[in-house]
Amino acid sequence: MIKFLDLKEINDGLSREIEAAALRVLRSGWYIGGNELQTFEDQLSCYLGAGQVVGVSNGLDALRLIFRSYLELGRLNVGDEIVVPSNTFIASALAVSDSGLRVVLVDPDPNTHNINAMGVRSAITPRTRAVLLVHLYGRNAYTDEIQELADSHGLLLIEDNAQALGASHRGRKVGTLGNASAMSFYPGKNLGALGDAGAVASADPDVIATVRSLRNYGSSVKYRHEHKGYNNRLDEIQAAMLAAKLPFLDIENQRRREIAAAYDTRISNPHISLPQIPSDSLEHVWHLYVIRSQHRNSLIEHLSAHSIESIIHYPIPIHLQAAYSELSTQPLPVAESLASEVLSIPIGSHLDDNDVDTIVDALNRFDPRK
């Protein structure tokens, strides 16, 4: 069986670093808010090359804390409209609606799977205050045109960088391109903790200070509370796991690029479309390698008959979810057609070259008429 993702295999490769870090925390007797967190935050801000980092409980909370900070700082107000891609993971939208802000869904460019300036422009109204730029599947979504739109309309650019840590845009790391960014270290992300974890990055000291306070009951000095905050902390054990694994992220991402390059050059089947981007581009870290087919169900069966796992990201668009029934009347044809055609095939350092050969061969032999 070729697994879609094999966390045991990926983490076994780093077992020396991971076990040493776990033992260090265990023996320190200090489990929340200590050196491990500080070390990881510094290490990640070095890696990003700009701004400061605040470790938090998970990716959804990282996004929620960003929106809540802008509300606390008076730079957003309840009811403001936030542009969100129609084809993203639901957490992107949940963070917006949980903050009392309005989700305005925009269809992506069908080739990049990311929103573009044209889509953003079409969604802007006098109440639009921010764009949630999701770097979907690991691919940078930031462009100069989107920045110009944000500048000319006074919009905040908030990056959902749950999937693209390590990608860059003309030498600047994704996650440092907008006003603030959220990261997820859910175990299956390119940099995965051994549990839930996330982070906020920003070059804006007010956002950083507010997120720091909000994650800790709204307090920056013990027993003094300047905000009605939460408990959204990143614990020492997860911070230590992440600090142990971050030095290997670029190696993981490079292996993903190698596999993407093999898929790009060797998969050739008229019933399958491939992602449209040079596989060596530094703008992509290939969190997912997403193909499209109008015969997706038979393709899934065919792969499974060859012992290859595949997963749909994401089968039901946000506006067709029961939770967002108020958005269901908006026509979002690209989101709907992507949801019916996309399929993610295995990618990651758990695959060896034989696995890649097997996957390529199986895809090339797929014929929906058989």
Q: What's the min distance (Å) between Cβ of 271 and ligand PLP?
A: 28
Of the pair 58, 310, the CB lying nearest ligand PLP is at 58
Exactly one of 52, 58, 114, 190 binds ligand PLP (CB under 6 A); that residue is 58
59 contacts ligand PLP (rule: CB under 6 A)? yes
Q: What's the min distance (Å) between Cβ of 368 and ligand PLP?
A: 30
- Distances from the Cα of 235 to the Cαs of 3, 23, 122, 213, in angstroms? 30, 15, 42, 16
Q: What's the min distance (Å) between Cβ of 341 and ligand PLP?
A: 19
Give φ, ψ of 323 to 5 degrees.
Answer: -65, -25
Site track 291-330 with ligand PLP (rule: CB under 6 A), x = hit = ----------------------------------------
181 contacts ligand PLP (rule: CB under 6 A)? no
Measured CA to CA, the distance from residue 122 to residue 265 in angstroms comes to 36
Nearest to 66 by CA among 188, 225, 198, 223: 198
Burial 250-271 (b: 16+ CB within 10 A, else e): eebbebbbbbbebbbeebebeb
Site track 138-177 with ligand PLP (rule: CB under 6 A), x = hit = ----------------------x-xx--------------
Exactly one of 134, 237, 288, 334 binds ligand PLP (CB under 6 A); that residue is 134
Size of the site for ligand PLP (CB under 6 A): 15
60 contacts ligand PLP (rule: CB under 6 A)? yes
Q: How far apart are the first and last CA of the chain?
A: 23
Of the pair 83, 299, the CB lying nearest ligand PLP is at 83
Tokens of 319: 């506006």
Question: Which of these ranges, 55-63, 70-78, 146-154, 165-173, lies near ligand PLP under the rule CB under 6 A?
Answer: 55-63
Kind and range of the H or E element at 24?
helix 15-28
Burial 309-325 (b: 16+ CB within 10 A, else e): bbbebbeebbbbeeebe
Measured CA to CA, the distance from residue 237 to residue 196 in angstroms comes to 11
Exactly one of 47, 142, 186, 314 binds ligand PLP (CB under 6 A); that residue is 186
Query: Which spans of this chain sit near ligand PLP (rule: CB under 6 A)?
Result: 58-60, 88-89, 91-92, 134, 160, 162-163, 184, 186, 196, 198
